[in-house]
Structure 1
Amino acid sequence: MTVLVRDLRPDDPADVAAFAHVRHLALPYILWTPEGVVHHLVHTHPDARSRSLVVEEDGETIGTAQLGLVHDSPEPGQAYLNAYVRPDRVRRGAGGLLVRTAEEYLATEGATKVFAWVLDEPACLAFAARHGYGRRRSAHFLRLDLANAALPEPPPPAPGVELCSAADFADDPRPLFALDAETLADEPSDVDVEFTDYEAWLAETWRHPLLNRELTTVAVVDGRPAAFSVAYTDGTRYSTAMTGTARAHRGRGLAKLTKTDSLRRARAAGYTEALTGNDTDNGPMLAINKWLGYAICGTEVRHVRELG
């Protein structure tokens, strides 16, 4: 048995497909496609020094990792590392090899602190602890049987609120960038970021191959986006990538309005399964998802390790 780690080959369709397959087996609550994997590697900002790694056992891909620097944080030295091994290929040394290789690389790039998401399962938590990672906050994965769900009627829009889609901003998406930057700044996070690079947002987010602009609902007030529910799709499944409201418009039910509208249109378009995720302390959004019929299907725990 030979286990080795190497960089993903983004120009090799079979290699990329194997990476996406391992991620789907290990983390089925997130949409993984070859196009999305390549997009993350190729279009992440150069300052992030991003890498995607694979672990092979006798030529078969059994593990993957995505890693890089949080380049837009005002605090230098912050990094991320998310590694996953096929559930039926654990205890072969693949995970440890991924972590060691990634940490060595991140240290050479100036990282002093590494953040990682770890599934809330005994074996995964024990693995993280053995490698020096300490627990932080947690987040839930949620699933909705969209085909059979009794979706509640969306609340009526308040006077002056107009619903449209992200596709309506195709000629000038900058207003959506401004809304995304404001809502992201208020999301629960371990690392502060300064989300100001519009060109990077266009490359990484607006042109993401999974972004479904037609199913992304935007609430507009006085001609400006006030709330949105961002839809990702992979051809068969629908996932909410972000639901947020501008600070000046919170408390008006716009998050519930946009998410309900997006889900209804997704079902009408033929999608039968809906996925989303929430920080466990995000009570308002968890309440909305419970009202919509979502059920928790998994949990992950944020971990951190100081690199000495």
Structure 2
Amino acid sequence: MTVLVREFRPEDAESTAEVLRAAIPFLVTTPEEIAWSTAHANPAARYRLLVAEADGRIVARGQVGLAHESTTPGQAYANVYVHPDHRGRGAGSLVLRTAEEHLAVAGARTVYSWVLDEPANRAFAERRGYRPSRSAHFLRLDLAHGTLPEPPEPPAGVELRTAADFAADPRPLFELDAEVTADEPSDVGAELDDYEDWLTSTWGHPGQNRELTVVAVVDGVPAAFTAVRTDGRGRYTSGMTGVRRAYRGRGLAKLVKAHSLHRARAAGCTEAFTGNDAGNEPMLAVNKWFGYDICATEVRHVRELALG
């Protein structure tokens, strides 16, 4: 089998999505958002979507870029996924090597990569000089057949809205997102300080479901939210649930997520997915209350690139 690694093309969107769904089915993605995200990446990220082609078929993909929102320069990521039917044939190695070469030229010094917590995957990373760091869980909730707890009533002074209600001026949601993102557990801290980039990459993302993204507003201030994306196939994912520091400890995370999940089920969603840092006990407890089960774990690995 001859493997060729090249840049993603728009016509690759469907087959690239198929690889991702097969390799890591807990992620909610669509061909449209893959093509869109590649076309609208921030130039500062030096983002590339690499694909490995074998005998005319795409068998692997790699997301590569600089962590441009980090306050520490030189940090980067390379997340490589190979279709399960084509593992062990060199496609993943070639994608990773190509990714590291690109990142070195772009000025990266530290590369992070998410690796499924399975022996073969971890061995692959460790043979290539990556050492394990923090871990995170994928969680799944059966909306079609599971029992979803009744949503709590909003406390006095708390109003529930959706992201769609902020269409005329989404900046308050940007400010909320920036604050909670800064506190999210991670090896690579992020600082959201570019509103125009956020409008493109987050607010304008084609997978975002503004009607199911629920926001708790306190005294006119967006205090908590759960940001939702859907794929049109009945799958729902909450990519971020967060509460501003001044409003924590009031049950607002559970409140917004509960109402979002009930709206999702009423809208025909059958599965809900989310991800949590393994050390984020408060959010893991909230998701356990809803009935989410851990379905897989990833371990973030890190490697220092040799200085040229």
1:1-308 to 2 correspondences below 5 Å? 1-10=1-10, 12=11, 15-235=12-232, 236-308=234-306
For these two proteins, the number of residue pairs brought into alignment is: 305
Post-superposition shift, 1:150? 1.5
Secondary structure at 2:222's aligned position in 1? strand
Measured after TM superposition, the shift of residue 2 of structure 1 is 1.0
Residue identity matched to 2:86 = R
Q: CA deviation at 1:149?
A: 1.9
Amino acid at match of 2:112: F
Equivalent AA in structure 2 for residue 92 of structure 1: R
Amino acid at match of 2:149: P
| Higher mean C-alpha displacement, 95-104 vs 188-197 | 188-197
4+ aligned runs moved over 6 Å, structure 1: none
Partners of 1:167 and 1:115 lie apart in 2 by 34
Query: Partners in 2 of 1:246 and 1:274 — Cα distance?
Result: 24
For structure 1, which segment, 285-294 or 39-48, has the greater mean C-alpha deviation from structure 2 after superposition?
39-48
Q: Amino acid of the residue matched to residue 293 of structure 1?
A: G
What are the superposed Cα offsets for residues 31-70 of structure 1, whole Å, 9 maximum, x if unpaired?
Answer: 1211111122111211101000000111111000010011
Instruction: Find the residue that maps to 1:154 and give its secondary structure.
Output: coil
Structure 1 segments unaligned to the other structure (5+ residues)? none
In 2, are the aligned partners of 1:39 and 1:204 still within 8 Å (CA)?
no
1:218-276 per-residue CA deviation (whole Å, 9 max, x = no partner) reads 00001110000111100121111110000000000000000000000000111111111
**CA shift digits 1:133-152 (9 cap, x unpaired):** 00000000000110122111
Cα RMSD for the two superposed structures: 0.8
How far apart are the structure 1 equivalents of 2:303 and 2:176?
32
- Counterpart of 1:3, as a letter, is V
| Matched position secondary structure for 2:64 | strand
Whole-angstrom distance in 2 between the partners of 1:137 and 1:72: 19
After TM superposition, give the deviation of residue 17 of structure 1 in Å. 0.7
State how far apart, in whole Å, the 2-side matches of 1:261 and 1:241 are. 16
Contact 2:151 2:262 in 1 (8 A): no
Check whether the contact 1:151–1:292 (CA below 8 A) recurs between aligned residues: yes
Q: Give distance in 1, aligned partners of 2:267 and 2:55.
A: 43
Q: C-alpha offsets along residues 85-124 of structure 1, whole Å, 9 cap, x if unaligned?
A: 0011101100100110000110011100000100001000
Which amino acid is 1:57 matched to? A
Distance of 2:222 and 2:229 partners within structure 1: 19
Q: Distance in 2 between matches of 1:269 and 1:175?
A: 26
Report the AA paired with residue 226 of structure 2.
S
Query: Match for 1:276: what amino acid?
Result: T
Deviation of the 1:176 alpha carbon: 0.2
**TM-score, normalised to structure 1's length?**
0.98
Q: Which amino acid aligns with 1:111?
A: A
Question: % of aligned pairs identical?
Answer: 63
Unpaired stretches in structure 2, ≥5 consecutive residues: none
SS at match of 2:129: coil
How far 1:192 sits from its partner (Å)?
Answer: 2.2
